[in-house]
Amino acid sequence: MSDNKTTLAIVDDHPIVQEGLQKLLVNAADITIVGCFTTGTDFIHFLKKNPVNVVLLDISLPDVSGIDLCREIKKLSPDTSVLALSNHSERSMVLQMLQNGATGYLLKNISGEELIACINEALNGQLTFSHAVKEIMSRPSLNELKDIPKLTKREKEILQLIADGMTTADIAGTLHLSPLTVETHRKSLLQKFEVKNVAAMIRVAIEQKLIP
Amino acid sequence: MSDNKTTLAIVDDHPIVQEGLQKLLVNAADITIVGCFTTGTDFIHFLKKNPVNVVLLDISLPDVSGIDLCREIKKLSPDTSVLALSNHSERSMVLQMLQNGATGYLLKNISGEELIACINEALNGQLTFSHAVKEIMSRPSLNELKDIPKLTKREKEILQLIADGMTTADIAGTLHLSPLTVETHRKSLLQKFEVKNVAAMIRVAIEQKLIP
DNA sequence: TTATTTCTACCTGTTTCCAGGTATTTCTTT
DNA sequence: AAAGAAATACCTGGAAACAGGTAGAAATAA
User: pLDDT, tens digit, for every residue of A164-209?
Assistant: 999 999 999 999 999 999 999 999 999 998 899 999 999 989 888 7
Please check whether residue A18 touches B, CB under 8 A.
Answer: yes
Give the closest residue to A106 by CA, choosing from A125, A119, A96. A119
- Please tell me whether residues B103 and B12 are part of one structural domain: yes
CA distance A37 to A63: 12
What Å distances lie between residue B187 and A139, B71, B192, CA to CA? 38, 26, 9
pLDDT (mean) for B173-190: 93
pLDDT in tens, A71-81: 889 888 989 99
Is B212 among the domain residues? Answer: no
- Please tell me whether residues A133 and A152 are part of one structural domain: no
Query: Band of the pLDDT at B29, cuts 50, 70, 90?
Result: confident
Q: What is the pLDDT of residue A1?
A: 41
Dihedrals phi, psi of B15, to nearest 5 degrees: -55, -40
Nearest-CA residue of chain B relative to A26? Answer: B19
Amino acid at A14: H
Residue A2 has pLDDT above 60, yes or no: no
Q: What is the pLDDT of residue B146?
A: 53
- Please tell me whether residues B40 and B107 are part of one structural domain: yes
Residue B171 has pLDDT above 90, yes or no: yes
Residues 140-179 of chain B sitting with CB below 7 angstroms of strand C? 150, 152-155, 175, 177-178
Q: What is the pLDDT of residue B144?
A: 42
Residue B138 has pLDDT above 70, yes or no: no
Q: What is the pLDDT of residue B143?
A: 40
Give the lowest-confidence range in A144-153, B38-47, B83-92. Answer: A144-153
Please check whether residue B200 touches A, CB under 8 A.
Answer: yes
pLDDT in tens, A32-78: 999 999 999 999 999 999 999 999 999 888 878 787 888 889 888 98
Residue A82 has pLDDT above 70, yes or no: yes
Please give the helix or strand (H or E) that residue A68 lies within, else none. helix A66-76
Please check whether residue B15 touches A, CB under 8 A.
Answer: yes
Please check whether residue B21 touches A, CB under 8 A.
Answer: yes
Question: Taking chain B, what is the end-to-end CA distance rounded to the nearest angstrom?
Answer: 47
- Please tell me whether residues B169 and B135 are part of one structural domain: no
Q: Which nucleotides on strand C sit less than 7 A from a protein beta carbon?
A: 5-11, 15-23
CB–CB contact B14 A108 (8 Å): yes
From B15, B108, B195, residue closest to A24, measured CB to CB: B15
Query: Band of the pLDDT at B130, cuts 50, 70, 90?
Result: confident
DSSP state of A197: S
Q: What is the pLDDT of residue B101?
A: 82
CATH number at residue B90: 3.40.50.2300
CA distance A133 to A140: 12
pLDDT (mean) for A97-107: 86
Query: Band of the pLDDT at B43, cuts 50, 70, 90?
Result: very high
> Do A124 and A101 contact (CB within 8 A), yes or no?
no
DSSP state of B140: -
Amino acid at A195: V
- Please tell me whether residues A159 and A107 are part of one structural domain: no
Q: Among B141, B174, B198, which residue terminates a domain?
A: B141
Is A90 among the domain residues? Answer: yes
Is A197 among the domain residues? Answer: yes
The Å distance, CA of B210 to C1' of C14, is: 31
CA atoms within 13 A on the CB side of B89: 17
- Please tell me whether residues B110 and B185 are part of one structural domain: no
Q: Long-range CB contacts (< 8 A, 24+ apart) of B45-53? A: B46/B9, B47/B9, B47/B73, B47/B76, B47/B77, B47/B80, B48/B76, B50/B7, B51/B7, B51/B77, B51/B80, B52/B7, B52/B8, B52/B9, B52/B77, B52/B80, B53/B6, B53/B7, B53/B8, B53/B79, B53/B80, B53/B81, B53/B123
Using the CA of B196, which nucleotide's C1' is the nearest one?
Answer: D18
Residue A145 has pLDDT above 80, yes or no: no
Residue A114 has pLDDT above 50, yes or no: yes
> Do B198 and B168 contact (CB within 8 A), yes or no?
no
DSSP state of B65: B
Give the lowest-confidence range in A46-55, B88-97, B198-207. Answer: B88-97
Mean predicted lDDT score pLDDT of chain B = 86
The Å distance, CA of A198 to C1' of D16, is: 12
Q: What is the pLDDT of residue B147?
A: 64
Give the lowest-confidence range in A44-58, B92-106, B128-142, B166-180. Answer: B128-142
From A13, A162, A195, residue closest to B109, measured CB to CB: A13
Mean predicted lDDT score pLDDT of chain A = 86
Q: What is the pLDDT of residue B87?
A: 85
CB–CB contact A109 B15 (8 Å): yes
Please give the helix or strand (H or E) that residue B107 lies within, else none. strand B104-107
Is A212 among the domain residues? Answer: no
Non-local (6+) Cβ contacts of A178 within 8 A are A172
> Do A194 and A146 contact (CB within 8 A), yes or no?
yes
pLDDT (mean) for A19-26: 92
Residue B145 has pLDDT above 50, yes or no: no
Residues 128-147 of chain B sitting with CB below 7 angstroms of strand C? none
CATH number at residue A197: 1.10.10.10
Q: Among B91, B107, B141, which residue terminates a domain?
A: B141
Q: Among A124, A141, A158, which residue terminates a domain?
A: A141
Higher per-residue confidence, B132 vs B142: B132
**Percent of chain B, pLDDT > 70?**
91
Domain count, chain A: 2
CA atoms within 13 A on the CB side of B212: 6
Residue B7 has pLDDT above 80, yes or no: yes
Residues spanned by the domain of B7: 2-141
Using the CA of A168, which nucleotide's C1' is the nearest one?
Answer: C16
Query: Band of the pLDDT at B27, cuts 50, 70, 90?
Result: confident
- Please tell me whether residues A90 and A157 are part of one structural domain: no
Please report the sign of the dihedral spanned by the C-alpha atoms of residue B174, residue B209, residue A194, residue A179: positive
Residue B153 has pLDDT above 70, yes or no: yes
Nearest-CA residue of chain A relative to B193? Answer: A165
- Please tell me whether residues B93 and B179 are part of one structural domain: no
The Å distance, CA of B163 to C1' of D6, is: 30
